[in-house]
Chain A
Amino acid sequence: MSGSAVTATARAPSRRRPPPVATVRWGLVIGSVLLLEAAARIGMIDPLIMPPPSTMVVRLGEIVAGGGFLTDLTTTAAAVLSAFGLGAVGGLLIGILFWRLPFVGATFEPYLVSLYSMPTLVFYPILLALLGLGPAPIIVIATTMAMIPVALNTMVGLNSISPTLPKLARSLNCSRTQTYLKVLAPAATPLVVPGLVLGFIYAMIGVIAMEFILASEGLGFRIGYTYRAFEMQDMYAYIVFVFVIAVAANVALNAIERRVRRDME
């Protein structure tokens, strides 16, 4: 009588391994770019509505090479960085305050949350009237947008620290500074960092959207301007640039976030 043919070492017939996720992702991106390129080239898409991607890239090269681009880029970058910087510092301080003073936190948290779901951009006209045309109203709005996720995540991060850790810090005679820097801050970091990442993205969205509405320079302004001037190739070139920057920022921030979570959790 023969035993079962299946032994511990026998393997199921090997199926073809599915292609790794990353390959599929890149395949989709490249595939759709090629598709758009073909569609535009054979006239399925009116080149006045959308030129072929290769033309966008070529045009982008010309724009970058020509003067003026750097001014727009630095204007936007400076606005994003200041909004993020101010928003991060403000958000951290608010988060810490709401955690230290639970009464204040419980009172003001709903305001913060509703500000979260409010299109803050609607205040732009008011700020424009108050602060005039220029970087100030843009930075104010973008700062507010960046600050909210930072504040909320900081508060939640600090509130979720186990009460044993401050007890440990006290029993080891940690100074106040040591307790903050060596115990509380690292313990809250896995939740604070995603808040900072969101804050950066919001700062970026806020600045570019505001520039789009009303400004005199900046990448967002340039997209709106070329659109209104029917310079479709230029508009798409700028869009491609903003798109690539946004995706790159997202990838970089996600990598940072994953790293922090891995090391700190």
Chain B
Amino acid sequence: MLPTASSAPGQPETAGDRDGRLGVRLADVGVVYDTKDGDSVEAVRSASGHIADGRFVSLIGPSGCGKSTLLDVVGGLLAPRSGTVTIDGEPVTGPRRDTAMVFQEDSTLHWRTVLSNVAFGLEIAGVGRKQREAAAGDIVALVGLTGFEHRHPRELSGGMKQRVAIARALVADPRILLMDEPFGALDQQTRMFMGRELLRVWDETRKSVVFVTHDIQEAVYLSDEVWVMSARPSEFTAKVVVDLDRPRGPGTMSSRRFHDLTSQVWEVLRVESEKALDAQRELEP
């Protein structure tokens, strides 16, 4: 287990950040997993990049390339084998209070109500019941779960459970939000709706977001930058800057520029996905 980092109090916002110290910086991050049978898997070879304060960055790449792994590293859950991750210039040595995660798999606590799930992080941080439930109530409304506060996760759909996880991440008002395919379990319409909702929240709060997705359109629609990862052992093969105007809306998706950008991402991704498939084929007899 990593030692817990003392939480970094909010530093003066962007003003005076000429040297780009603020935000998340990955420098030559490499991750190797030791498997149970004594083997090792090189998941990430060399990932470098800077997510400036308040930027929305999407990670996209073939399945198994190490997206979740990278989020774990930034979230302080996993120590990289090589390289460093810094947040506002401080090395990440463990989970931080100003970073919140939404996991790829269902992470709701099924014995707790929606409200108490959302308030869980605050409870752990020692916030009093009244205060944390008020805060949780506000966020529950924000993610559109009003009326479900006292339901249990088993009474919710997969998408609603993901919204609970998103609400739990938002409630402590983190500066950095790490989201691992939060809309993965949703149908296309709900997915687009949730994406718009997320952008609305983000427009109000301007957190730094690292957003993992398999959906190119979603990535381009939401992000300031789309980082494309190579097949494992991975690195970033391309960083596409999305210069579409904000706030974005239904018109964004029908624009010429949107189309160009998605094609650009698709081109890089196609090459990487083929490589990943070839690698898999080689393993087969």
Contact = CB atoms under 8 A, between A and B. Distances in A.
Interface of A: 162, 164-165, 167-168, 170-174, 178, 182-183, 186-187, 189, 263-265
A170 B111 contact: no
Given A162-B105, A174-B124, A178-B124, A167 B111 contact: no
B110 A168 contact: no
B109 A165 contact: yes
B77 interface: yes
Contact of A168 (B97, B103, B111, B154): B103
B101 interface: yes
B95 interface: yes
Interface in B74-108: 75-77, 95, 97, 99-101, 103, 105-107
Main secondary structure of the interface of B (DSSP, over half): loop
A173 B97 contact: yes
13 contacts: A162-B106, A162-B107, A164-B103, A164-B105, A165-B107, A167-B103, A171-B99, A172-B125, A173-B95, A182-B124, A186-B111, A187-B110, A265-B111
A178 B75 CA distance: 20
Task: Categorize the interface residue count of chain B.
Answer: 20 to 34
9 closest A-B pairs (Cβ-Cβ)? Answer: A264-B111, A164-B105, A172-B121, A186-B111, A164-B107, A168-B107, A171-B101, A171-B95, A172-B124
Contacts of A162: 105-107
B190 interface: no
Contacts of A172: 95, 120-121, 124-125
B164 to A, nearest CB: 12
A41 B107 CA distance: 65
Contacts of A189: 111
A162 B4 CA distance: 23
